């Protein structure tokens, strides 16, 4: 019990300070997240005039759990389907913001004569806004259901995804002193692969499991099950090289498509509030007045770079994505902070010994200050827009205030182009999903199934059985890859009423699908059976043909697709 006493005492101190500060800030009608940060400063070892925590390692561990719960709750609120419905706008805005802010950060570092790696890492830190802080601010201010808030959260999620790629790039740069294009491409492909795999398999299996266990589910068992799924995904995501918070977000987004999503969110909310409070308190503990005074000039300049850079370049990024000026400014003023990713990146630079010791305390101070100012910047957006609207020329303002929704919803004048675009997207979706599933099945068979079969059977039977089992499992997905597509009526209309080029594109797409399916068959046969020249080619052709015409593969494929679509639209169907 004695080993737990400092941890329990620290928790008591944190919760007492947090409780007092949240009541005070609620009384002052200020966002509660600011009260947590003040509580952290008061409870930190840097505040010598008050009792302070003694076990910072334990606090750090709890704060990491807080980030997991906050991202899990974010996933429950904001699913991948919502991102897709937002269209390309968040992607365009996120890319523009990241590249612009990385340049701003690197330029600011160069002004102080810092070394190259300090400048590059500072640019990466400034490029990512804080999902948890903005999410909490929107929640406290009652803005979470506003359209601009949806756009901001979409951009933040895309930034979190791209942050993983950025970390790989900077790690590679730190080690090799140059960007490795092949490794970066591999990281991006790996990220895309696991995202598709997790989402498709999760949407297929988890709603089925919850339906089967529905009679056994009460509030307690549902909470434990949801947290088990969350932390299971956290462990799996960490095992394959991604962050724990990213795994929590993915599982939250999968559970958000189930009918139990609202109940899970309600049950998780108290736990999220507890550990989320510890996370924000831990941020406040990082404030060191002596270090702030020592580096006050760089801190103020970086704060100014964030405030000006985000409001200008983020507004430009959202305008570029087709948003109105007012919406763009509301979004950009919400992004004027750095958060937890900056701490991760600063730790990475320190552990690789490529950044200077002063960079971490500077980033902490900037993060705390910008966390404080986030709610006020959100409130400042509309007055800033009104002031800008008064000085802009009327014609320019009218152009900038174009309604992107009307533009996006405008009826397509070229019906055949619209049909082709729709069918092309459907085919791409089918090809990507089934290619990922086939790749995962092949990898699992080679790593886990094949060794067992090779221990049980002699050559060449072990290779033959491995190939047959792999092909049997992959058959419904190979069938879908080669034959499933979009709406047959639309395809027929394109074929008979469209141009000659439409028929060429449909034919080329059909041939490509068969060739892709043949590639997977050839890979399975070529890596499990002895190479035999013409016989091997003949075997590939026969297997492709059998799968192409197989009623069994078709039936299994249609059953899987039906279950997936029912699970994906289950919540909408229940609410209808």
Q: What is the 3-state secondary structure (H, E, C) of 60-97?
A: HHHHHHHHHHHHHHHHHHCCHHHHHHCCCHHHHHHHHH
Residue 550 phi, psi (nearest 5) = -70, 120
Q: Is the pLDDT assigned to residue 405 strictly greater than 50?
A: no
Look at the block and give the residue holding tokens 């008591």.
Answer: 12
Look at the block and give the residue holding tokens 């409001």.
Answer: 311
Q: What three-state secondary structure class fits 375? A: helix
Q: For position 134, what pLDDT does the model report?
A: 86
Q: For position 306, what pLDDT does the model report?
A: 92
Q: Which of 344, 345, 320 is nearest to 331 (CA)?
A: 320
Q: Which of 227, 270, 276 is nearest to 37 (CA)?
A: 276
Confidence of residue 117 (pLDDT cuts 50, 70, 90): confident
Taking the CA atoms of 408, 414, 417 and 418 in sequence, report the sign of the dihedral they define. Answer: positive
Rounded average pLDDT over 427-439: 88
Name residues whose C-beta falls within 8 Å of residue 44's C-beta, 6 or more positions apart in sequence: 52, 53, 284, 285, 286, 287
Look at the block and give the residue holding tokens 């494929």.
Answer: 557
Residue 356 phi, psi (nearest 5) = -75, 155
Percent of the chain with pLDDT over 90: 7
131/573: higher pLDDT? 131
Q: For position 202, what pLDDT does the model report?
A: 86
The answer to whether the beta carbons of residues 240 and 447 sit under 8 Å apart is: no
Q: For position 184, what pLDDT does the model report?
A: 62
Q: Is the pLDDT assigned to residue 91 strictly greater than 60?
A: yes
Number of neighbouring beta carbons within 10 Å of residue 403? 12
pLDDT digits (tens, 9 = 90+) for 538-565: 788 888 888 888 889 888 988 888 888 8
Please give the Cα distance from 188 to 571 (Å, whole number).
31
Q: Is the pLDDT assigned to residue 359 strictly greater than 60?
A: yes
Name residues whose C-beta falls within 8 Å of residue 105's C-beta, 6 or more positions apart in sequence: 119, 122, 123, 124, 125, 126, 127, 302, 305
How far does the chain reach from its first CA to its final CA, in angstroms? 54
Look at the block and give the residue holding tokens 């986030």.
Answer: 374
Q: For position 412, what pLDDT does the model report?
A: 40
Taking the CA atoms of 313, 316, 317 and 318 in sequence, report the sign of the dihedral they define. Answer: positive
Name residues whose C-beta falls within 8 Å of residue 34's C-beta, 6 or more positions apart in sequence: 25, 371, 372, 375
pLDDT digits (tens, 9 = 90+) for 161-213: 777 677 767 766 666 555 555 666 676 777 778 888 888 888 888 888 888 88
pLDDT digits (tens, 9 = 90+) for 216-268: 888 889 999 999 999 999 998 888 877 777 788 888 888 888 888 888 988 99
Q: Is the pLDDT assigned to residue 215 strictly greater than 80?
A: yes
Q: For position 258, what pLDDT does the model report?
A: 85
Q: Is the pLDDT assigned to residue 534 strictly greater than 70?
A: no
Residue 46 phi, psi (nearest 5) = -75, -15
Number of neighbouring beta carbons within 10 Å of residue 264? 24
Q: For position 224, what pLDDT does the model report?
A: 92
Q: For position 413, what pLDDT does the model report?
A: 40
Q: For position 401, what pLDDT does the model report?
A: 73
Mean pLDDT, the chain, rounded, equals 81
Confidence of residue 487 (pLDDT cuts 50, 70, 90): low
The answer to whether the beta carbons of residues 536 and 521 sit under 8 Å apart is: no
Look at the block and give the residue holding tokens 């510890």.
Answer: 278
Q: If phi over 0 gives left and psi between -120 and 50 gives alpha, with beta otherwise, what is residue 128? A: beta
Q: Which range in 142-151, 205-214, 280-289 is most confidently predicted, on average pLDDT?
A: 205-214
Q: Is the pLDDT assigned to residue 407 strictly greater than 50?
A: no
Q: Which of 231, 93, 106, 104 is nearest to 162 (CA)?
A: 93
Rounded average pLDDT over 284-299: 81
State both tokens at 98: 């990241």
Q: Is the pLDDT assigned to residue 332 strictly greater than 70?
A: yes
Q: For position 303, what pLDDT does the model report?
A: 92
Please give the Cα distance from 498 to 419 (Å, whole number).
10
pTM of the model: 0.76
Least confident residue range of 8-22, 183-197, 363-377: 183-197
């Amino acid at each position: 019990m004695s080993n737990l006493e400092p941890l329990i005492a620290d928790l008591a101190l944190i919760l007492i300070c947090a409780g007092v500060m949240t009541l005070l800030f609620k009384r002052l009608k200020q966002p509660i997240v600011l009260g947590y940060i003040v509580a952290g400063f008061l409870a930190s070892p840097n505040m010598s005039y008050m009792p302070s925590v003694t076990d910072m390692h334990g606090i750090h561990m709890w704060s990491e759990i807080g980030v997991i719960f906050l991202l899990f709750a974010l996933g429950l609120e904001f699913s991948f389907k919502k991102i897709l419905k937002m269209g390309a706008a968040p992607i365009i805005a996120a890319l523009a913001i990241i590249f612009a802010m990385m340049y701003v950060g690197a330029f600011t570092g160069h002004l102080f004569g810092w070394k190259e790696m300090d400048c590059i890492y500072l640019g990466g830190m400034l490029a990512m806004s804080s999902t948890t802080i903005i999410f909490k601010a929107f929640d406290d201010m009652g803005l979470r259901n506003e359209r601009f808030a949806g756009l901001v959260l979409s951009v933040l999620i895309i930034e979190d995804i791209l942050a993983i790629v950025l970390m790989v790039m900077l790690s590679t740069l730190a080690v090799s002193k140059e960007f490795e294009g092949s490794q970066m491409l591999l990281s991006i492909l790996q990220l895309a692969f696991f995202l598709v795999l997790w989402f498709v398999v999760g949407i297929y299996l988890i709603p089925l499991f919850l339906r089967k266990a529905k009679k056994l589910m009460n509030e307690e068992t549902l909470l434990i099950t949801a947290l088990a799924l969350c932390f299971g995904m956290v462990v799996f995501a960490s095992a394959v090289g991604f962050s724990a918070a990213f795994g929590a977000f993915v599982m939250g987004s999968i559970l958000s498509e189930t009918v139990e999503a609202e109940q899970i969110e309600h049950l998780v909310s108290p736990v999220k509030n507890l550990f989320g409070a510890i996370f924000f308190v831990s941020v406040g503990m990082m404030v060191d007045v002596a270090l702030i005074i020592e580096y006050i000039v760089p801190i103020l300049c970086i704060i100014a770079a964030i405030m000006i850079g985000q409001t200008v370049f983020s507004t430009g990024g959202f305008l570029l994505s087709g948003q109105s000026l007012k919406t763009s400014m509301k979004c950009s003023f919400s992004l004027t902070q750095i958060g937890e990713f900056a701490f991760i990146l600063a730790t990475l630079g320190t552990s690789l010994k490529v950044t200077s010791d002063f960079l971490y305390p500077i980033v902490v101070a900037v993060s705390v200050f910008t966390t404080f100012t986030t709610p006020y910047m959100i409130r400042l957006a509309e007055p800033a827009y009104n002031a800008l609207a008064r000085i802009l020329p009327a014609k320019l303002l009218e152009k900038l205030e174009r309604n992107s929704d009307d533009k996006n919803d405008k009826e397509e004048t070229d019906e055949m182009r619209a049909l082709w675009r729709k069918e092309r997207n459907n085919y791409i979706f089918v090809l990507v999903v089934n290619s990922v599933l086939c790749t995962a099945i092949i990898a699992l068979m080679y790593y886990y199934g094949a060794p067992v079969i090779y221990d049980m059977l002699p050559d060449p039977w072990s290779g033959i059985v491995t190939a047959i089992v792999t092909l049997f499992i992959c058959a419904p997905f190979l069938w879908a890859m080669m034959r499933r597509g979009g709406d047959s009526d639309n395809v027929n209309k394109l074929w008979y009423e469209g141009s000659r080029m439409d028929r060429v594109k449909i034919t080329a797409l059909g041939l490509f699908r068969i060739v892709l399916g043949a590639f997977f068959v050839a890979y399975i046969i070529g890596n499990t059976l002895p190479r035999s020249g013409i016989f091997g080619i003949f075997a590939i052709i026969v297997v492709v043909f059998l799968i192409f015409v197989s009623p069994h593969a078709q039936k299994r494929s249609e059953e899987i697709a039906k279950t997936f679509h029912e699970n994906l639209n289950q919540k909408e169907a229940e609410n209808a």
